[in-house]
Amino acid sequence: MTDWCPDLSRSNAPRYLAIADTIESDIKSGRLTAGDRLPAQRDLARRLGLDFTTVARGYTEARRRGIISSQVGSGTYVSTTSDIPKDTSTRAPRRQSPPDHSMLLPPEPTDTTLLARMKSGFAALSADLVSLMRYQDLEASEQDKQAGEKWLKDMQLQVSPERIAFAPGAQAALMAILQDLTSPGDLIACEAITYPGIRSLCAQLGLGLIGLQTDGDGIIPDALRSKCQTETLRALYINPTLNNPTTRTIPEARRKELVNIAREFGIPILEDDPYSPLLQIPPKPFAELAPEQTWYIGSLSKSLGAGLRLAYVAAPDKSRAWSLQRALRTASVMPSPMTVALASLWIENGTAKAILDHVRDESAARQSLAGKMLGDFNIATDEAAFHLWLNLPAAWTRSAFVSQIRHLPIGIVESDPFTVSGTPAEAVRICFGGPVDRARLSHALEEIAQTLRSSPQSASAFF
């Protein structure tokens, strides 16, 4: 059916919606049947006299409705009967919600063997279900401590169990640490372009955040030294490995330079490190180079899944680990015992490693797709990451670009929330994790590339 061409003359809807509507109506009328192959997007755009991005957007809308599916290297087909959503009005509701594309989401497992292994972990918890429903002691169990110690050891961090605190996610850990180290009006230093969560926390706590100049290796040591000489800094926040959003990893030599300056001026280091698990051999963390003044936060959200709200925090010493644990208990009572138990089980029995292997392999494959589609543009990326930083061509502003591709099933965020100092660059962060599969990602990246090659005026003319 590659000769299929929709009649859009009877529709007053935007052209991309008219394309999706016509596919749906032609399926109902029998003009299109399950398994029929639809025309390539460029061919259909040529036949209809439309811009490529308009047709791509129409196909994206049809895929969202579940009436077509795509296969990389094969084409786009009308979905089989089993693929078309059925009436579920009489079924019990399921706890499914759309992903938050403003956040970085790791690629989700689809392999049936891996999914079965993950589900068996949940089933194993049922033996202790009643006890996991109780409030827990402040002190973590020996089994959970050993799991945390093993996880951090794989991140190249040797830390005794008594220095490990458990937090319900990295954000909760950072909040508790900042409340302990600072008072309203104090100053915190960080990269000039950094994780937005630290900006939100500093704003909530009344702290000043100073963005330091960076180069390809991270914060420039002279920039940190100069700021230390002119300001009283209470902490240095750093996201050193596969940085969000730039994907930059600070090499060990630069880490040592920054550690030496932090030691000289007595500045605590807050090392937010959720992405090291994505690397087969992570770099030596700041907490290993300067354990006496570094708070290491190792979250599971970017490696095993964002819904697993757990972070292992390595405190500078046993006393401060205990103080942090008490502060976390005051703020959030406890991490979910079920989450802690599941994480420990997965780490112990190898399921965590299997999930990590999937995320690593899938991220590498998706980075390869991104390289093919967007390699002609100014991107910063790493094969281990599931996001990239795109500096836009001169004709585009970040707001105009995002407005054209906001409908795509991947996360695209302007530079503004990441920018601590200076004018936000005309750049965006693109995440290709979450529930999107490679076929849909390929189409999304192709549409992004076509949009970048067009002018903002021509891209918007057909929407």
pLDDT in tens, 356-371: 999 999 999 999 999 9
| Partners of 233 in beta bridges | 187
Q: What is the pLDDT of residue 458?
A: 60
Tokens standing for residue 206: 């009344």
Compute the distance between CA of residue 327 and CA of residue 196 in angstroms, rounded to an integer: 23
Q: Which residue has the higher pLDDT, 102 or 268?
A: 268
| Candidate ranges 91-105, 212-226, 328-342; pick with highest mean pLDDT | 212-226
pLDDT at position 460? 54
Contact call for residues 444 and 436 (beta carbons, < 8 A): yes
Structure-token pair, residue 34: 């399950």
CB atoms within 10 A of CB 39: 21
Query: If you classify domain 15-83 with CATH, what class do you get?
Result: mainly alpha
Report residue 320 as tokens.
């401060």
Residues 6+ apart with CB under 8 A from 290: 259, 262, 263, 269
Determine the angle formed by the axes of helices 337-349 and 112-125, rounding to 10 degrees.
Answer: 130
pLDDT at 271: 98
Give SS3 for 247: coil
Q: What does the alpha-carbon distance between residue 418 and residue 195 come to, in Å, rounded to a whole number? A: 6
Over 70: is that where the pLDDT of 72 sits?
no
What's the rounded mean pLDDT across residues 262-282?
A: 97
Average pLDDT over residues 109-131: 90
Burial of 402 (0-12, 13-18, 19+ CB in 10 A): middle
**What DSSP line would sit under 344-405, residue for residue?**
HHHHHHTHHHHHHHHHHHHHHHHHHHHHHHHTTSEEE--TT-SEEEEEPPTT--HHHHHHHH
**What pLDDT score does 462 carry?**
44
Q: Measured between alpha carbons, how far is 282 from 212 in angstroms, rounded to an integer?
A: 24
463 vs 458: CA distance, rounded Å:
10
Distance CA 426, CA 402 (A): 11
Q: How confident is the model at residue 86 (pLDDT cuts 50, 70, 90)?
A: very low
Pairwise CA distance, residues 275 & 247, whole Å: 10
SS3 215: strand
Whole-Å CA distances, 335 to 105, 167, 225: 21, 6, 38
Model's pTM, two decimal places?
0.82
| Distance of alpha carbon 202 from alpha carbon 199, whole angstroms | 5
Distance CA 26, CA 288 (A): 62
Query: Distance between CA atoms of 407 and 364, rounded to whole angstroms?
Result: 25
- Distance of alpha carbon 240 from alpha carbon 406, whole angstroms: 29
Q: Map out the domains of the chain as residue ranges.
A: 15-83, 136-351, 353-460
- Was domain 353-460 assigned CATH 3.90.1150.10? yes
Q: Minimum mean pLDDT among 83-97, 300-314, 399-413, 442-456: which range? A: 83-97
**Site of tokens 């704003």:** 203
> Would you place residue 87 in the very low, low, confident or very high pLDDT band (cuts 50, 70, 90)?
very low
Instruction: Return the pLDDT at 140.
Output: 83
Handedness of CA 251, 256, 261, 267 (dihedral sign): positive
Q: Residue 327 to residues 168, 170, 176, 320, 378: CA-CA distances in angstroms?
A: 12, 14, 6, 10, 44
Contacts of 85 (CB under 8 A, 6+ apart): 65, 66
Task: Work out the pLDDT band at 79, boundaries 50, 70, 90.
Answer: confident
Q: For domain 136-351, give the CATH number.
A: 3.40.640.10
Enumerate residues 6+ apart whose C-beta is below 8 A from 272.
Answer: 170, 174, 195, 198, 237, 238, 239, 297, 299
